[in-house]
Structure 1
Amino acid sequence: MLNLSVDDIAFVGEDIQRGECVLATRSGDLFLPDKRGGVNIVRANGKSERIMAKNAPEGFMPNGIALLPDRTFLMADLGPGGGVWHMAQDGAMTPRLLEVHGKKLEPTNFVGIDSKGRTWVTVSTHLVPREQSMKKGHADGYIVVMDERGARVVAEGMGFTNEAIVDPSGEWLYVNETIARCTSRFPIRADGSLGRKEVFAQYGAGTFPDGFTFDAEGGVWIVSVVSNRVIRATPDGKQHTVIQDADPAWLEQVEQAFEDGSYNRTHLDSGGQRRLANLSGIAFGGADLKTVYLASLFGSQVGSFRSPVAGAKPVHWEF
């Protein structure tokens, strides 16, 4: 399996600001959110262009995004408004989901779609500001599903809910719990409700999982903020660290802060001082689905490397 250093990472794109996640398509185009309020598109030639949101709510902060078949977007608003918005190709914004069961959504982390037309939404915490929830043992994140029956909460009590993606089989919803430091999964019932949660992978010291993706062999590749790690976890319980870009002494300090309850935004953002710039998103792409793309909270470009294992085709691959 791969053992990479930072020198093995190539970079594409330019002038990306807070590209929290990355979506890859067969065309070679990459799509990332941009904190200025819109989407950054890295074309196959490596050049970047932006679609800026029009009439967005005050403080709009796109975080997770979903690409739709017509190449418009769903965008999770991590700003004070929260909720999910639709952005047309010309940047025009319309609200898609701002409340559930009559209750306004808090700052919203992620939005994704599946092959059955359902939309999955995560909110990391009820607490505002969100930093109050970054404590070991805190678990009030939740997941919303939206389909022809409407929108409803289908899972609660999670340790900082991050990305949530339906696996290639369509039978499981996987989710990264950043503060619980694990990748969990739920069986999906026919009506869109979720069965009992189980832990797919529990991570150790210094790993705070954010984004993830699937490979064609059943592996889950996660990226960790703070430690700038890429880890491949497999169904047999094995984990392999592909790369890490962090100072070991600093990671020990972060770990101590996490254990004693003093962990805060400064610790979370510290990975941004490294070359990999606080890894937060990952996707397989390229013609053979063996190019791995890395998104980060503080980088101005997308990292990439080649994998011996192909990725599983994401739902938006042909869009």
Structure 2
Amino acid sequence: MVELVLGGLAFGESPRWREGRLWFSNWGTGEILAVDAEGKSELMASVPPETLPFSIDWLPDGRLIVVAGVRLLRQERDGALVEHADLSGVADMFNEIVVDRRGYTFVNGGWFDFSKPGVIVVVTPEGEVRQVADGIAFGNGMAVSEDGTTLIVAESYGCRLSAFDIGADGSLANRRVWADLGEGQHPDGICLDAEGAVWYADVPNQQCVRVREGGEVLQKVELDRGAFACMLGGEDGAALYILAAEWSGFENMFTPARTGQLLTTPAPAPHAGRP
């Protein structure tokens, strides 16, 4: 059973469960919100409303990190957002982010010409920016395995989840297809569970799907609008939160219509890994 937690959103993205609440980016408004189980929301930070994409995660010391265009921002203790890294020398725009437990920050991005293959960069704990992968077919959600050794990335245009081994210096190696999802499947945001499965959101197919390595489908949650991202959370980590909205193309990202929803449904296994 899928339940509504919060409505009236623009386009929710980059959900993260933290300290008893679900945090996410509300694209088209510039808001970073935190929502409790009763649906009460709080504004935690803002970027200019026209900033797209923007996604979030945290450094090991608890400071919020925000991908905003070609900049990586860091929220200081007083709430101010300051530049953490400049990514403009690598690509035109950046999308999703995940920070591993050591503080290596992985960000995927690409070009305004979406047909061009994208990249993944790492920002080291010392602030060095390096490109660590290319040939990404529109990178979207990313996750790091519970043991910290594997990065999984959703390639929306490639209809697959791909995996890399993470090196001691944040480098990526041994690229492989973690799950071939089949033609017509377009993974967006993803998260990992304690049984080693991945949940992925799919906008055009209006669903969230749980798959194991190799591509076997374990479960589907069907919706009445596009699923942009998902995250496991709740008190026991076994509530699947889904950010969904009606999708009518990039040209309508700033429409005043607010069809976005935060939904939840029980999941068979709790959260694992990062984010």
Per the normalisation by structure 1, the TM-score is 0.74
Q: Distance in 2 between matches of 1:314 and 1:158?
A: 20
What root-mean-square deviation, in Å, do the aligned CA atoms of Structure 1 and Structure 2 show? 2.3
Quote the residue 2:71 is aligned against: 83
2:271 maps to 1:311: yes
Structure 1 position 218 matched with structure 2 position 196 = yes
SS for the counterpart of 1:168 is coil
Q: Does 1:283 align with 2:217?
A: no
Q: Which residue is 1:179 aligned to?
A: 157
Question: How many pairs align?
Answer: 261
The aligned runs of 1:257-268 (5 Å cut-off) are none
Relative to its length, the structure with more strand (as a share) is 2
Partner of 1:32: 24
For 1:14 and 1:67, how far apart are their aligned partners in 2?
25
Whether contact under 8 Å (2:53, 2:68) holds in the other structure is yes
Comparing both structures, which one devotes a greater share of its residues to helix? 1
**Does residue 12 of structure 1 match 2:10?**
no
Report whether the alignment pairs 1:153 with 2:137: no
In structure 2, C-alpha distance between the alignment counterparts of 1:52 and 1:17, rounded to whole Å? 16
Identity percentage over the alignment? 28
Q: For the pair shown, which has the larger CA radius of gyration, 1 or 2? A: 1
| AA partner of residue 22 (structure 2) | L
User: Do the aligned partners of 1:62 and 1:75 also contact (CA within 8 Å) in 2?
Assistant: no
User: Which digits, 9 at most, give the CA deviation of each residue in 1:201-255, with x for residues without a partner?
Assistant: 111233110111111111111111111221211135412341234xxxxxxxxxx
Corresponding residue number in structure 2 for 1:61? 52
Deviation at 1:97, TM superposition (A): 2.0
Equivalent in the alignment of 2:92 = 106
Structure 2: 5+ residue runs without aligned partners?
Answer: 247-258
Unpaired segments of 5 or more residues in structure 1? 1-7, 246-274
Aligned-partner Cα distance in 2 for 1:41–1:15: 15
Residue of structure 1 in register with 2:120 after alignment? 143
The CA deviation at 1:168 is 0.9
Structure 2 distance, partners of 1:107, 1:311, is 29
Q: Is the 8 A contact 1:141 1:157 kept in 2?
A: yes
